[in-house]
A and B are shown apart, each in its own frame.
Chain A
């Protein structure tokens, strides 16, 4: 029996965190209708300290989702509408010449990135230069302007959105920047029942009321707990085999792949699995958590080749195929046996 090398949380802590997180999900779900899976993914991203890229048509509630979370968590939030003429300094902040009596000095004026929750709306409309300004901030959670480094507030999350249509005049995010996002989530259209509920509850121009269910400190506590969720060896093995399977030639499914996922993807997948386990009140992650998070973590990090794109095969298709190919159990069974599940 091997002993865990990292501190693990106990089941009481996990259950308490799960209860808080459930309250958060309920609070957001009371405003964002019909998107429980999306809400869970956002909560997982918060627990994993990851950034989100939301993709969907206008009006599906992407901005509303971010605002709802910021209210429910009592976090500072800023919204930046990315446009082609947006400059990096417009996000990070600029040094301003300030007169103080007889002296003049540059004083750093923080940009909108200095917040807990930054909503980067239609991020693909900004120039690559502006987009890349987010790189350091997203990864290292700090900003350097004129040689001076400024730490971003904790916690710090970037929730970026992009519109899959009207792509003229847009700048697709480079792979390096896409890799910084933990999840890329597709916001789907509401069902008829959801629409009916929205119509009956919401009115145009009226802000929905959101209950504040968690303090910032509680969120940070939960984030710290998520890091203590234990990853059994079978789970780490599964993550490694999944990510390795995205490399061309390393799996049958990878025949459609041009570039596979990075090691950062493996780290992100492990963090997502931990977050999902904590969401379920468990002190250890499972292969189910990995499989459930894989598409959101891996799909935007894998680049399918030209032929596959021509055939309509997307990265999401590839990840589903890979999940079907790579068994959670490392050792395969003979052809005369197949795994049976009773639950």
Chain B
């Protein structure tokens, strides 16, 4: 009975001391834990922004927590309650007047341990919950506060190089395969691409690098289209010379020769020059007489070669040769013709190309290239009787505006523009 009571009391004393010791550790741990969670919240934000692996972050958190617990346990060691201290707490709690301490020292018998008792403490929860709640709040903040990833999007991240570079590279490969462009031009293009690739890989996807790549791509595509258009124009001039033959009036011959000459001049001055042999061959056919001197077989051979080159250029530039020929035919006029029935046309929004839009401005019609898009049809055309006088009719291009107009005309969506126009009616 006495031994059993002694065992019971000592067990309770150890439990009493352990609870107090645990709370002592928490006493030192919790303030530091709040600090750790504040750091952890920042780390979470940074980790989410930089897309660090979750495992490393959690490992760091658990490691920091373990270190803090160790430090707290070390700091709390001078406050630790022993089993004797636990006995004293119990006897004070139960009003035993030091009976347990005296029994532990062998002076009296152990009191009966058959009483049901709780821990001799009153828990002051307000000392514990606020740090824990603050810690949870900090962790949640680190978890839930939205942050944008500092890394490129997964598509870009997985790409080996910017898409514009790939396009330029594809163009270079196609030009090398087809051998229709002078090697020097291809080399220049390759050098420009190499210069972009010469940057540190970490900067490949920077805004400036991406813009430079896109400019190179757009410029290349523009040069290709110009080359295709000029080559087609030169071919058409030669066809007209052969067709008219000796019946050509001097004025017609002169006009055709001038048209051919302009096309050749554009081809020669282009950044993307055609193959030198082909250019030289064309240059020899600079007038009607020289053109007529060609035998029919040679002419057909040359025509087929020019058509093949034109088709390849259009294929690389993403143009439809027939569409290009149609446009070119529409603008073919003589002295008595005006600017043509529809030199410029509207295109669906899905075929939007920044390069082509940059090349044409509605305010500078002189520089508008044939076949280039001048505007987008952004809404259904209203019935003519409902259309205000200041609005444009069907088929007319909306002016781009000047000064501040550019802002709202270019940046607002069609619906917003319509709403704004209606507001000011």
Q: Tell whether A147 is near chain B: CB-to-CB under 8 Å.
A: no
Q: Of A49-57, A240-248, A293-301, A331-339, which binds chain B?
A: A331-339
Chain A interface mostly helix, strand, loop or mixed? loop
Q: Of B19-27, B185-193, B284-292, B330-338, which binds chain A?
A: B19-27
In angstroms, Cα B119 to Cα A286, docked, is 21
Contact partners of B98 in chain A: CB under 8 A:
232, 234-235, 284-288
Closest 7 CB pairs of A and B: A343-B95, A286-B97, A286-B98, A284-B102, A336-B127, A232-B101, A334-B27
Within the complex, which residue of B23, B120, B128 is in contact with A340, where a contact is CB–CB below 8 Å? B120
Residue of A nearest to B89 (CB): A329
Given contacts A234-B101, A287-B98, A343-B94, contact A336 B124 (CB under 8 A): yes
Contact partners of A341 in chain B: CB under 8 A:
92-93, 95, 120
Q: Tell whether B122 is near chain A: CB-to-CB under 8 Å.
A: yes
The answer on a CB contact under 8 Å between A334 and B93 is: no
Interface CB pairs A-B, < 8 A, 20: A8-B107, A283-B102, A284-B102, A284-B107, A284-B108, A285-B98, A287-B98, A328-B88, A328-B92, A329-B85, A329-B88, A331-B79, A331-B80, A332-B79, A333-B20, A336-B27, A337-B20, A337-B122, A337-B124, A340-B122
Within the complex, which residue of A233, A331, A338 is in contact with B122, where a contact is CB–CB below 8 Å? A338
Contact partners of B155 in chain A: CB under 8 A:
none
Q: Tell whether B123 is near chain A: CB-to-CB under 8 Å.
A: yes
The answer on a CB contact under 8 Å between A339 and B89 is: yes
Q: Tell whether A342 is near chain B: CB-to-CB under 8 Å.
A: yes
The answer on a CB contact under 8 Å between A283 and B108 is: yes
Given contacts A328-B92, A336-B23, A336-B123, contact A230 B85 (CB under 8 A): no
CB distance from A295 to the nearest CB of B (A): 19
The answer on a CB contact under 8 Å between B94 and A2 is: no
Residue of A nearest to B127 (CB): A336
The answer on a CB contact under 8 Å between A233 and B101 is: yes
CB distance from B3 to the nearest CB of A (A): 12
Q: Tell whether A101 is near chain B: CB-to-CB under 8 Å.
A: no
In angstroms, Cα B272 to Cα A168, docked, is 126
The answer on a CB contact under 8 Å between B107 and A283 is: yes
Within the complex, which residue of B95, B105, B108, B121 is in contact with A337, where a contact is CB–CB below 8 Å? B121
Q: Tell whether B104 is near chain A: CB-to-CB under 8 Å.
A: yes
CB distance from B56 to the nearest CB of A (A): 33
Q: Tell whether B250 is near chain A: CB-to-CB under 8 Å.
A: no
Q: Quick one: CB contact mask for A264-284 with B, threshold 8 Å, 1 for yes? A: 000000000000000010111
The answer on a CB contact under 8 Å between A11 and B108 is: yes
- Known: A4-B105, A230-B107, A287-B98; 13 extra A-B contacts, CB below 8 A, are A1-B106, A233-B84, A233-B101, A234-B84, A234-B101, A283-B102, A283-B108, A286-B98, A287-B92, A330-B88, A338-B121, A342-B93, A342-B94
Residue of B nearest to A284 (CB): B102
The answer on a CB contact under 8 Å between A1 and B104 is: yes
> Using a CB-CB cutoff of 8 Å, which residues 52-92 of chain B contact chain A?
79-82, 84-85, 88-89, 91-92
Q: Tell whether A103 is near chain B: CB-to-CB under 8 Å.
A: no
The answer on a CB contact under 8 Å between B107 and A4 is: yes
Q: Tell whether A3 is near chain B: CB-to-CB under 8 Å.
A: yes
Within the complex, which residue of B84, B94, B104, B127 is in contact with A335, where a contact is CB–CB below 8 Å? B127
The answer on a CB contact under 8 Å between B122 and A339 is: yes
CB distance from A272 to the nearest CB of B (A): 15
The answer on a CB contact under 8 Å between B94 and A334 is: no
A interface with B by C-beta (< 8 Å): 1-4, 8, 11, 230, 232-235, 280, 282-289, 328-343
CB distance from B171 to the nearest CB of A (A): 73
In angstroms, Cα B99 to Cα A230, docked, is 11
Contact partners of B19 in chain A: CB under 8 A:
337
Contact partners of A328 in chain B: CB under 8 A:
88, 92
CB distance from B97 to the nearest CB of A (A): 4
Contact partners of A336 in chain B: CB under 8 A:
23, 26-27, 123-125, 127-128
The answer on a CB contact under 8 Å between B93 and A3 is: no
The answer on a CB contact under 8 Å between B105 and A3 is: yes
Q: Which of B27, B105, B117, B128 has the most chain A CB atoms inside 10 A of its CB?
A: B105
Within the complex, which residue of B26, B84, B99, B119 is in contact with A334, where a contact is CB–CB below 8 Å? B26
The answer on a CB contact under 8 Å between B120 and A339 is: yes
In angstroms, Cα B85 to Cα A338, docked, is 14
The answer on a CB contact under 8 Å between A233 and B105 is: yes
Contact partners of A3 in chain B: CB under 8 A:
105-106
Residue of A nearest to B102 (CB): A284
Within the complex, which residue of B85, B93, B104 is in contact with A330, where a contact is CB–CB below 8 Å? B85
Contact partners of B97 in chain A: CB under 8 A:
280, 282, 286, 288-289
Within the complex, which residue of A233, A280, A282, A340 is in contact with B93, where a contact is CB–CB below 8 Å? A340
Contact partners of B101 in chain A: CB under 8 A:
232-235
In angstroms, Cα B89 to Cα A282, docked, is 20
The answer on a CB contact under 8 Å between A232 and B105 is: yes
Given contacts A2-B106, A284-B107, contact A331 B124 (CB under 8 A): no
Contact partners of B93 in chain A: CB under 8 A:
339-343
CB distance from B395 to the nearest CB of A (A): 82
Given contacts A11-B108, A336-B123, A337-B20, contact A331 B81 (CB under 8 A): yes
Contact partners of A2 in chain B: CB under 8 A:
105-106
Given contacts A284-B108, A339-B121, contact A329 B92 (CB under 8 A): yes
> Using a CB-CB cutoff of 8 Å, which residues 13-65 of chain B contact chain A?
19-20, 23-24, 26-27
Contact partners of A334 in chain B: CB under 8 A:
20, 23-24, 26-27, 79, 127
> Using a CB-CB cutoff of 8 Å, which residues 275-334 of chain B contact chain A?
none
In angstroms, Cα B28 to Cα A336, docked, is 11
Residue of B nearest to A341 (CB): B93
In angstroms, Cα B20 to Cα A338, docked, is 10
In angstroms, Cα B99 to Cα A280, docked, is 13
Contact partners of B106 in chain A: CB under 8 A:
1-4
Contact partners of A333 in chain B: CB under 8 A:
20, 23, 121
CB distance from A282 to the nearest CB of B (A): 7
Contact partners of A230 in chain B: CB under 8 A:
102, 105, 107
Q: Which of B27, B79, B95, B97 has the most chain A CB atoms inside 10 A of its CB?
A: B97
In angstroms, Cα B101 to Cα A2, docked, is 10
Contact partners of B105 in chain A: CB under 8 A:
1-4, 230, 232-233
Contact partners of B102 in chain A: CB under 8 A:
230, 232, 283-284
Residue of B nearest to A329 (CB): B88
CB distance from A335 to the nearest CB of B (A): 5
CB distance from A238 to the nearest CB of B (A): 9
CB distance from A334 to the nearest CB of B (A): 4
In angstroms, Cα B81 to Cα A8, docked, is 28
Residue of A nearest to B109 (CB): A11
Contact partners of B85 in chain A: CB under 8 A:
329-331
